[in-house]
Amino acid sequence: MNVVEQQMSSEVIVVTDAQGHSRALRRFWKNKLGVMGLIIVVGFVLMALFAPGIAPFSPLATHFSHAFQPPSARHWLGTDELGRDVLSRIIYGARSSLVSGILIVAIGVGIGVPVGLVSGYYGGWIDDVIMRVVDAALAFPALVLALAIAWILGPSLIHAVWAIAAVTIPQFARITRGQVLSARTREYVEAARCLGASPWRIMLHHVLRNAATPILVVATLNIGSAILAVASLSFLGLGPPPPAPNWGAMLQDGSQYLNMAPWISLFPGLAIFLAVLGFSTLGDGLRDVLDPK
């Protein structure tokens, strides 16, 4: 193939990729649930980023004379047992919830994907050893294992993040390994191997690129699950210590006053529900768009 033919071939590939991306975007915008999830996620991200300018009050300011006030024109979502504005605490709580969810998935992808790549590509005893460890980790209920790890490490947001990430890593390792097993015998991988490409170049530039779609979808779905898991640990007292605003801790604080002030728990629970719903519907929308099946 001469230089002109190579250039024309590369231009065709670029045009084809651009057309594919354009079609994928059009399919996504036609997916109502996916678009709804994207709107919810973007709304929470903006709320977390601009919390100081959006929150009407300080999330830590206590006013005992204003305790247990129902939703009103001054306090839109009411106040808690210490007179703190519930809306302000929910807005600031979005920061810890979103950051922890993204960090958990980032750790899971950053460790689990390379482990799955090595396991699936090399196979043999390496695959056997890694997969037995992964199977042992997946044999435990995820939340129970995260609860045990968080209890050993102690109550802290970063400890909760690492505890849940430790449960997430085997999931991404298993998913990546399955994708690598189906891709390593493809023609383009064999061609790269015959041309003398190194194993790591084959794994990163050929195998991982084609396995990125399911990993991206699972990662998006797992952010919602991670937010819910962090809220669960915080509800049990294993999240960030008070008075830091956190949705799970707010649920726990308000559970003692459900009869007289249900709004203390109702609105943080609604925030958790919407955040998980947003990432779940966004992940479903991405799956429908990116999955060729």
Domain assignment present for residue 180? The answer is: yes
Q: For residue 174, which of 127, 141, 206, 221 has the smallest C-alpha distance?
A: 127
Element (H, E) at 231: helix 208-235
Domain that holds residue 133: 83-290
Domain assignment present for residue 56? The answer is: no
Domain assignment present for residue 51? The answer is: no
pLDDT above 60 (res 17): no
Digit-coded pLDDT (tens) for 185-222: 777 777 777 877 777 777 777 778 777 888 888 999 99
Digit-coded pLDDT (tens) for 224-249: 999 999 999 999 888 888 888 999 99
Q: What is the pLDDT of residue 14?
A: 40
Domain assignment present for residue 65? The answer is: no
Whole-number average pLDDT of the chain:
85
Longest dimension (CA), the chain: 82
> Per the structure block, which two tokens stand in for 239?
């999240």
Q: Which amino acid is at 61?
A: A
What percentage of residues in the chain have a pLDDT greater than 70? 91
HSE (side-chain half, CA atoms, 13 Å) at 101? 30
Q: How many domains does the chain have?
A: 1
Domain assignment present for residue 59? The answer is: no
- Split at pLDDT 50, 70, 90, the class of 92 is very high
Task: Using the structure block, give the residue that is written with the tokens 């189906």.
Answer: 182
In sign, the C-alpha dihedral spanning 280, 164, 110, 133 is negative
Q: Are the C-beta atoms of 247 and 93 separated by less than 8 Å?
A: yes
Q: Are the C-beta atoms of 145 and 167 separated by less than 8 Å?
A: yes
Q: What is the CATH number of the domain that holds 167?
A: 1.10.3720.10
d(Cα 289, Cα 90) in Å, to the nearest integer?
A: 32
